[in-house]
Structure 1
């Protein structure tokens, strides 16, 4: 039987929680991705690292990847600015090396925060703000000055937090909020969950979005961005989000497919079938009666999760169940919690 991926001509794959966690590969990820015969583009909201650095990390894990196989939110930001500013315009780069490199490759004259501080009369036409571990309050001040003076402001992403090996750190969204507070303005955001990064990937793959499958572990970024870009999406249960969070997700954050891990990409996909009384996936057959599960037969954990979340989504959408009731029912269908 054909595998899930046979319905698509390319894959856009998230990284953290899908391919790796920190320095280590997610279980089965490398062998599963190596087995794919369609082009893969790795897309990340992380703006601080240049594509070649990301590719080197993936190569260390055992994947055959070059910088051309990586798309970053910095690159999406540079593309967005190219459509808003004249060629060679001066752009202030806030963030790590990936931000500066993306602007240089797009043909802009890059201005650093230090240079802007030393030459206060230097006028910049744009600001590209991304994450960088060494971003300072002085850097944010230069961004605020430029934005207040009319510079076009693009943010690579607005992730509020950043997971690190020591815990949760402020993400780029926290830094963007500081400039918003100072200027009273909002940036154009290009990273997930917004569509530009995914559109950049589709353009680079030379495929229409409908032929590309987006794979990720987060509903509010990976899946939401795919929905906005018109791509089908697959949520893998190896990272941030779970069956429990999927059960209460709004329609704009619901994936086309639910996968236990990346191996499922090459396997036949068992979809949910329903007559709107019973919900069936493989060997799992269930329905809701008086706010409780009525299970005719239990399937595998992933079959149970697919049938159960589809049933709960129908109940939520028709206001038959509140979120509190859904959360009470979810433990019975979430083997990964």
Structure 2
């Protein structure tokens, strides 16, 4: 269930594990309130670590982009799926093992830094193929990966995101390219990125954090990864998954906190409570499920508020968890325009 915090999240947690696309920025464009909120959280003592499933870029490049958007960052404040994939390789391969890298500069750097020999062909008999997104990847690279996996190479991938959000919409992500290799080989790869917990646990260890908070915009990667790592998660509605999606979230993807945007770091959070008459109440808003349909009681004539979404989550999640029917068609869009 959603949980409450009597203190602002920036004071209640010592590390924010912040997703990038859809949270800190959207493609090359800033997201409203992201920079000012993150800087205020840092000023209050919260550490920031930016965690991304994008394996194509170097941490230095990510840090530079953040800094140009008003979020000063150092390379060691960036954790990429490339670094996580290299860490996964070390679990099975000895230093110096040959690895076929199918991806961009960020993945090449991470694999070399982990002590492996990078090769460019299946003919070099690599012990593993590591695959990550890069916009320049084409058929030849994917085919080379397939040849190596068919010959027994261990297939490790940075992430399985089917889509990649940018300023134009949703583009094919690494998961779509991985599916090409999987279709050719019949082999299911090991994924290092979200929703696997690897990046979050590595990031918390790097920062020496005791109370980490995951922040993301995607339930199926960011918030599922938070659950897998055992960390609370803040879901912000500035990217892929909406407030309505949160109400419909499966148990392994449910957030602990909700926010319209990153201003949610700077405020306390209420949690819904069940009343004796079956309503889930949060502030002046309430929700319940009756005969499989979500019934909402908003705060007077106000538009959708976070408290109404919180109450809706409480009611919907209880219905699903107790085996009751819930008609998704009864759940409105629930667009929220507040912190």
Aligned pair partner of 1:40 in 48, 53, 56: 48
Q: Is 1:72 matched with 2:77?
A: no
Give the number of equivalent residue pairs. Answer: 325
Partner of 1:51: 59
Q: By how many angstroms is 1:206 displaced?
A: 2.1
Q: Deviations over 1:179-212 (max 9, x none)?
A: 112222111101111111212212212235xx21
**Structure 2 length-normalised TM:** 0.90
Partner of 1:306: 310
Partner of 1:191: 193
Change in CA separation of 1:286 and 1:244 when aligned onto 2, cut-off 3 Å: closer
Partner of 1:27: 32
1:243–1:309 Cα contact (<8 Å) kept = no
Q: By how many angstroms is 1:294 displaced?
A: 6.1
Q: By how many angstroms is 1:4 displaced?
A: 2.3
SS at match of 1:182: helix
Q: By how many angstroms is 1:167 displaced?
A: 4.2
1:73–1:191 Cα contact (<8 Å) kept = yes
Partner of 2:288: 287
Partner of 2:12: 7
Q: Which runs of 5+ in 1 are unaligned?
A: none
2:225, 2:282 → 1: CA distance?
27
Change in CA separation of 1:258 and 1:168 when aligned onto 2, cut-off 3 Å: closer
1:214–1:231 Cα contact (<8 Å) kept = yes
Runs of 4+, deviation exceeding 6 Å: none
- Structure 2 counterparts to residues 228-239 of structure 1, below 5 A: 228-239=228-239
SS at match of 2:205: helix
Q: By how many angstroms is 1:84 displaced?
A: 1.0
Q: Deviations over 1:32-81 (max 9, x none)?
A: 00011211110000011111101110000011201100000000000110
Partner of 2:146: 144
Aligned pair partner of 2:116 in 87, 94, 108: 108
SS at match of 2:281: strand
SS at match of 1:46: coil
Q: Deviations over 1:140-178 (max 9, x none)?
A: 121112212222221001111223444433221121111
2:16, 2:170 → 1: CA distance?
29
Partner of 2:3: none
1:184, 1:320 → 2: CA distance?
38
2:215, 2:152 → 1: CA distance?
37
Q: By how many angstroms is 1:292 displaced?
A: 5.6
Change in CA separation of 1:41 and 1:303 when aligned onto 2, cut-off 3 Å: same
1:247–1:326 Cα contact (<8 Å) kept = no
Change in CA separation of 1:154 and 1:268 when aligned onto 2, cut-off 3 Å: same
**Structure 1 length-normalised TM:** 0.90
2:17–2:49 Cα contact (<8 Å) kept = yes
Q: Which runs of 5+ in 2 are unaligned?
A: 1-5
Q: Deviations over 1:231-272 (max 9, x none)?
A: 110100111111111111111111000111111212111121
Change in CA separation of 1:296 and 1:240 when aligned onto 2, cut-off 3 Å: closer
SS at match of 1:330: coil
1:76–1:156 Cα contact (<8 Å) kept = yes
1:289, 1:173 → 2: CA distance?
39
